[in-house]
Amino acid sequence: MGIASNGEEALQLIEKEQPDICLTDIEMPRKTGLDIAEALKDKRQKVIILTTFAREGYFERAVRAEVSGYLLKDTPSDELIQNIRAVMEGKKFYSPELVTGMLFQQDNPLTDREREVLLAVGEGLSSKEIAGKLFLSDGTVRNYMSEILNKLEAKNRIEAVSLAKEKGWI
């Protein structure tokens, strides 16, 4: 058993301790609960994410990462314990409020490559740095950014990152 103060520390602790189940918050410094779930997707650990956020895109990302549970933080303790036990038996649990929110959310308009570019923008990288990181030309990165701004109807790179994060697309 272990407790981590941020997502990077959590992944290191999971690698070291090899727990059967990981209970994580959705929003943490350095790496989110969704980042952790995606990193553990092909591992043996089962992941339950707790959240107060019913944001667009989060649930979709959690399902793609094959989380075993996606629950609201205000889930009563006895219910949470029952859900953890059920997950250990191979079942999956998702809070109905989060599933319902997914039914009305907007689909992610970004391609995988556009998401990579936008994530790099979120890291504070310039177009030239992104080009080097993703093995693209500077002009190609600028073209991707132009397409991203159009798709998200954002005024600038910062607004595009903010909108995509808010919707859970990156």
Q: Are residues 129 and 96 in the same domain?
A: no
User: What is the domain extent for residue 99?
Assistant: 7-103
Our count of domains for the chain comes to: 2
Residue with tokens 């070291």: 16
45 within 8 A of 21, measured Cβ to Cβ: yes
| Calpha distance 108→168 (Å, rounded) | 9
CA-to-CA dists, residue 136 to 21, 123, 149, angstroms: 39, 17, 19
pLDDT, tens digit, 9 for 90 and up, residues 91-131: 998 887 776 655 555 678 889 899 999 999 999 999 999 99
pLDDT digits (tens, 9 = 90+) for 17-74: 999 999 999 888 888 899 999 999 888 889 999 888 666 678 878 888 899 998 888 8
Q: What is the pLDDT of residue 104?
A: 53
CB contact set of 99 (below 8 Å; sequence gap of 6+): 59
Residue where a domain stops, chosen among 49, 78, 103: 103
Calculate helix-pair angle for 127-134, 138-152, nearest 10 degrees: 110
pLDDT tens per residue across span 134-165: 999 999 999 999 999 999 999 999 999 998 88
Is residue 2 one of the residues assigned to a domain? no
Q: Is residue 1 part of a domain?
A: no
Residue 71 included in any domain: yes
The CATH number assigned to the domain holding 153 equals 1.10.10.10
